[in-house]
Amino acid sequence: MRFDSILDTIGNTPLVKLGRLSPQPGVSVYAKLEGANPTGSVKDRIALHMIEAAEKNGDLTHEHTILEPTSGNTGISLAMVARAKGYKLVCVLPDNVTSEREALLRAFGADVTYAKDAHSTNDAIYRAQEIVAKAPNLYYMPYQYGNENNPRAHYETTGPEILRDVPEIDVFVAGLGTGGTLTGVGRFLKEKRPEVKIVASVPHPGDLVQGLRALEDGFIPPVLDESVLDGRIVVDSVTSFAMTKELMEKEAIFAGISSGAALKVALRAAERLDSGNVVVLLADGGWKYLSTELWSKDYGEIEERVEGKIWW
């Protein structure tokens, strides 16, 4: 396959049958491997869509620095798109991201600033909004949580790819972060196949809510259209890690932590079907999580480091 630019290699990711994990003969579970995107995550799709839409409508020019609150994948994807197109990028990170993520951002030429005392993505979002509010002419913030081009990227690319590869899809499962994947893919699939069920996996907030002062400090991403959802399942860190490891052991697929949680939910959906097809989107590859030692140690040995961190 020949491409004119790295940006043209985004999307059209492989869909792989999970033959050993599919629970019963009449039910197939397929995984869409978003780790096969150029920076190794699904976020390449939305980074490209958000930046090109802002170029088109004039919100982004070469006078601007792109600034985004992110704890990882979106920043790395924006860094690639920014470098390919000649923009500067600053990422505002909470203080608990893995070392691989910062190293990758810097490798792509992004500047990194840590939001002081930001223990969660919520805090990083508020910090980034403050920076932009002080100098609105200097910065352009794509703001993946509120940018309609985030779900649109999935409506125009991920959704059609899934329906092309599994026209008889019954259930679609993905992790809920910004809500962009579920909203975009969900809208597309429901238009074409109204009986399809859209199910979200969400991380158990565990102790991470300590810093949340009041319920009103909670956050529902503006791009999330809850009306496309048919279910939301909460998955804790232990289960996410265990399933990510099982995915490697049974199917030789090296995926990130959120993929373990999504897989857990997909297998649950599959168990409830007599026959049919479940598609689960695996948002990233495992590379950025090697420092967890997830694949080389037992959970008991890494638990202390794992608990209380944001994994997805």
Q: Does 177 bind another protein (CB under 8 A)?
A: yes
Minimum Å distance from CB 63 to another protein? 27
Q: Does 140 bind another protein (CB under 8 A)?
A: no
Q: Which of residues 104-133 bind another protein (CB under 8 A)?
A: 120-122, 125
Q: Which of residues 44-83 bind another protein (CB under 8 A)?
A: 70-74
Long-range contacts of 234-239 (CB under 8 A, 24+ apart): 234/201, 234/202, 234/203, 234/204, 235/201, 235/202, 235/203, 235/204, 235/260, 235/261, 235/264, 235/265, 236/203, 236/204, 236/206, 237/203, 237/204, 237/206, 237/306, 237/307, 237/311, 238/299, 238/303, 239/264
Q: Does 149 bind another protein (CB under 8 A)?
A: no
Output the CA angle 179-182-188, nearest 5 degrees: 130
Candidate residues 11, 142, 184, 203; the one interacting with another protein per rule CB under 8 A: 203
Q: Does 144 bind another protein (CB under 8 A)?
A: yes
In the 8-state DSSP scheme, what is residue 275?
Answer: S
Q: Does 204 bind another protein (CB under 8 A)?
A: yes
Minimum Å distance from CB 272 to another protein? 12
Q: How many residues bind another protein (CB under 8 A)?
A: 48
Candidate residues 19, 26, 136, 218; the one interacting with another protein per rule CB under 8 A: 218
The dihedrals phi and psi of 32, each to the nearest 5 degrees, come to -95, 115
Find the catalytic residue in 43, 197, 264, 288. 43
Q: Distance between CA atoms of 170 and 149, rounded to whole angstroms? A: 26
Q: Does 222 bind another protein (CB under 8 A)?
A: no
Q: Does 178 bind another protein (CB under 8 A)?
A: yes
Q: Which is nearer to another protein, 28 or 154 (CB)?
A: 154
In sequence order, which residues have a C-beta less than 8 Å from that of residue 25 and are 6 or more positions away? none
Q: Does 273 bind another protein (CB under 8 A)?
A: no
99 tagged catalytic: no
Q: Which is nearer to another protein, 21 or 269 (CB)?
A: 269
Minimum Å distance from CB 17 to another protein? 26
Q: Distance between CA atoms of 242 and 240, rounded to whole angstroms? A: 6
Q: Which is nearer to another protein, 28 or 197 (CB)?
A: 197
In sequence order, which residues have a C-beta less than 8 Å from that of residue 152 and are 6 or more positions away? 49, 53, 184
43 tagged catalytic: yes
Q: Does 220 bind another protein (CB under 8 A)?
A: yes
Q: Does 212 bind another protein (CB under 8 A)?
A: yes
Q: Does 194 bind another protein (CB under 8 A)?
A: no
In sequence order, which residues have a C-beta less than 8 Å from that of residue 99 and are 6 or more positions away? 291
Answer left, alpha or beta for residue 166, where phi above 0 means left and psi between -120 and 50 means alpha.
beta
Candidate residues 209, 249, 250, 297; the one interacting with another protein per rule CB under 8 A: 209
Look up residue 173 and give its two tokens: 């499962």
Instruction: Find out whether 82 and 110 touch, Cβ atoms under 8 Å.
Output: yes
In the 8-state DSSP scheme, what is residue 284?
Answer: B
Could you list the active site residues? 43, 258
Query: Under the rule (CB under 8 A), what is the footprint of another protein?
Result: 43, 70-74, 120-122, 125, 144-145, 175-179, 202-205, 207-210, 212-216, 218-221, 226, 229-235, 256-258, 310-312
